[in-house]
Each structure stands twice: as structure tokens, then as C-alpha cells.
């Protein structure tokens, strides 16, 4: 019997400072997220990043926390329920970090009689800090527990027709009538991650206009994939080249892919864009980066720079067309 395991990033259990610290420690201690030698990584995480950020992180989460807790966890569970109802297949929801855990999800599916698991890391674009770390963790836990499960992974789906149609439809339904510009803001990653995941070792950031050239690196290149998602959506929405753009948010330090979203918000306002729509397609579920970083802080940045209206377009969350895509993918 087949089951489906949907896996999202994760969130603190609650707003207690210990829960915030526990989440940050597990997330940032992942060797595929902060990919430094372990001793250096742990110094950064435990002595610099967490002590300097955990209170601000708690304040940010408090801005988006609901009576149901974390929006990301609540909405991912709701997505799982809709996928299960529509597919007739057993579905469990797990998080890469914290709870509900991947181990818990695999055990539940095994206990219910599943021998084949369709694993869906809920990230449209391939990156070592999202898709790769999730795949490795699922395989590690399955092997550790000796569950003898057949694991099938969806892989990156950045250019799949059903995904692009669903994303484009959500964008179209939520745009301002007077919109001047649509900004696709993706989560940033370090440039070194692009180089590390390049199987050719000679393409990403080493060839002029590397993202525009077809290569064996593309199935593993986050930047090339997000650019293609944006182009496909812009085409479907019939946008002119000067009516949309791409940027990257959530950077932690230097050496991350550009242009940076916060800088683009200022530039667009200063260059005359008055009514801005922003969508964050790196995420399929609304979370801290979309609801607080973009819809609150990003809005403030754009309006303070002279823009007149800022419209955040929600993630796919549990849209019916998005559910249809996941069900169809699980049946292939």
C-alpha cells in the first residue's frame, strides 16, 4: 500500500524562548544549511547567531502566530488533509526540523500498512539547504529504523505545468488592479551553495550568463530554476519584460545571490513604481519569511522609500489546483 509524506521546513513549537532556541539550533546546525567545518559552525550558531537573534526571532514569530500556533505547521497539516481526501491515499505531514518529525511520519505510515512512500519535500526549487537535506534525512531515518520502505521522491517541480498554472492563477487572482510591477522574491542562498551542487564543477558562476544556458547543472541549480519559474509565470500572465523582476530575500551574510529584495524594494520605489505586487514562490506555505519579513517589513521598506501601495500575494497554501497537482504527481 502506498502512502504520502509531505515535508515542510518547520517552526518552533511555541513562543517560549527555549522553543525558539531549540528550533534555531537544530535548523542552523544542519551541515547543508551552514556548511562550515563543524567546530566553526557550532561557534557561529551557539555563540554568535542564536544569542544575537533569538529574542528578535521570537518577536517576529509573535507577529504572525495565530490561535492555531504556527501558520506554516497549521496550513501544511490542512494541505495534507486535502491531499488525503482527494487522493484516497494515507497522508502524513512532517517537518524537517522540530515537530511533527520525519521519524514520526514514517513510523505512522509504516504502522498503517504502507510499504511504498511518495515523499514530497515542499520546495519547488532544488537547493542543498532544502530538497537535498530533506531527502538525506528521510533516507537516514528510514535506514536507522529498518523500516524496509520503498521511497519515491517528487524532486524539484519548478517548471511543471500544473505547478506553474496554480501559481499563476493565485498571482492573477490576488493582484492589484492598478499594479505597476510584479516582484518575484525568492529565499536567498549563498553563492557557494550553487557551486557545491553543480555536478559539472565548471558551469554555475563560472560561465557567463550561466543560468541562461542549458546545462547538466540545471537540475541542481537553484538560481536557474527560480528564474525559469518566474519567466514561465510572467509569460502565462502576459507581462512585459519591464513589468516584473526577480530578487532574493532572507540573506544572512555576504556572498549571497543577488539582487537583494530589500534593496530592490527601495530601488523600485525610487524609480517610480507606485503600486507593487510581491509573491514569494520559493515557499508553497506562508511562514515567517512571507508573513513577517515580506508582508510587514518589506511593506514598510517600500512605502518608506516612496511607494504608494504594497500588495503581498499569498503562497499556494492549500489551493485546490495545488492539491490537484500534488495528487497527480503522486499517481505517476
Over residues 175-189, the pLDDT tens digits come to 999 999 999 999 999
Using a cut of 0.85, tell me whether the model's pTM lies above it.
Answer: yes
Mean pLDDT of 220-236: 98
Same domain, 130 and 249: no
Q: What is the pLDDT of residues 91-103, one digit of tens each?
A: 999 999 999 999 9
Does position 223 have pLDDT exceeding 90, yes or no? yes
Distance in angstroms (rounded) separating the CA atoms of residues 256 and 250: 10
Same domain, 131 and 203: no
- CB contact at 8 A, 152 and 117: yes
Same domain, 100 and 178: no
Q: What is the pLDDT of residues 122-156, one digit of tens each?
A: 999 999 999 999 999 999 999 999 999 999 999 99
- Count of the separate structural domains present in the chain: 2
Residue 122 belongs to a domain: yes
Structural domain harbouring 295: 161-313
Query: In what order do the strands lie in the sheet containing 181-187?
Result: 244-249, 181-187, 275-279, 309-313
CATH number at 233 reads 3.40.50.1400
Same domain, 31 and 55: yes
Residue 98 belongs to a domain: yes
Distance in angstroms (rounded) separating the CA atoms of residues 125 and 211: 14
Does position 265 have pLDDT exceeding 90, yes or no? yes
Rg (alpha carbons) of the chain, rounded to whole number: 20
Same domain, 7 and 100: yes
Same domain, 152 and 170: no
Same domain, 89 and 112: yes
Mean pLDDT of 108-114: 98
Same domain, 88 and 130: yes
> Would you state the pLDDT for residue 253?
75
Residue 325 belongs to a domain: no
Mean pLDDT of 225-251: 97
Amino acid at each position: 500500500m502506498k502512502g504520502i509524506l509531505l515535508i515542510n521546513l518547520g517552526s518552533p513549537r511555541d513562543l517560549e524562548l527555549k522553543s525558539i532556541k531549540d528550533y534555531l539550533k537544530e535548523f542552523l546546525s544542519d551541515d547543508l544549511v551552514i556548511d562550515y567545518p563543524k567546530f566553526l559552525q557550532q561557534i557561529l550558531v551557539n555563540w554568535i547567531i542564536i544569542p544575537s537573534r533569538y529574542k528578535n526571532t521570537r518577536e517576529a514569530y509573535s507577529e504572525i502566530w495565530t490561535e492555531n500556533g504556527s501558520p506554516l505547521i497549521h496550513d501544511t497539516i490542512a494541505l495534507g488533509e486535502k491531499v488525503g481526501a482527494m487522493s484516497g491515499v494515507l497522508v502524513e505531514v512532517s517537518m524537517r526540523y522540530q515537530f511533527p518529525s520525519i521519524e514520526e511520519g514514517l513510523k505512522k505510515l509504516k504502522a498503517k500498512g504502507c510499504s511504498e512512500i511518495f515523499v514530497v519535500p515542499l520546495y519547488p526549487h532544488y537547493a542543498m539547504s532544502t530538497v537535498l537535506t530533506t531527502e538525506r534525512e528521510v533516507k537516514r531515518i528510514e535506514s536507522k529504523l529498518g523500516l524496509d520502505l520503498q521511497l519515491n521522491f517528487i524532486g524539484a517541480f519548478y517548471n511543471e505545468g500544473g505547478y506553474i498554472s496554480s501559481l499563476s492563477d493565485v498571482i492573477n487572482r490576488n493582484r492589484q488592479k492598478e499594479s505597476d510591477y510584479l516582484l518575484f522574491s525568492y529565499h536567498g542562498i549563498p553563492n557557494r551553495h550553487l557551486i557545491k551542487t553543480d555536478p559539472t564543477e565548471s558551469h554555475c558562476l563560472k560561465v557567463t550568463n550561466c543560468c541562461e544556458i542549458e546545462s547538466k547543472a540545471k537540475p541542481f541549480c537553484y538560481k536557474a530554476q527560480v528564474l525559469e519559474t518566474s519567466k514561465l509565470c510572467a509569460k502565462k500572465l502576459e507581462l512585459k519584460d519591464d513589468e516584473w523582476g526577480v530578487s532574493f530575500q532572507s540573506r544572512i551574510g555576504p556572498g549571497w545571490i543577488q539582487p537583494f529584495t530589500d534593496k530592490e524594494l527601495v530601488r523600485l520605489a525610487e524609480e517610480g513604481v507606485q503600486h507593487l505586487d510581491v509573491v514569494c514562490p520559493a515557499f508553497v506555505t506562508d511562514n515567517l519569511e512571507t508573513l513577517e519579513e515580506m508582508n510587514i517589513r518589506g511593506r514598510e521598506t517600500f512605502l518608506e522609500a516612496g511607494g504608494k501601495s504594497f500588495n503581498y500575494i499569498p503562497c499556494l497554501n492549500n489551493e485546490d489546483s495545488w492539491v490537484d497537482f500534488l495528487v497527480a504527481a503522486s499517481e505517476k
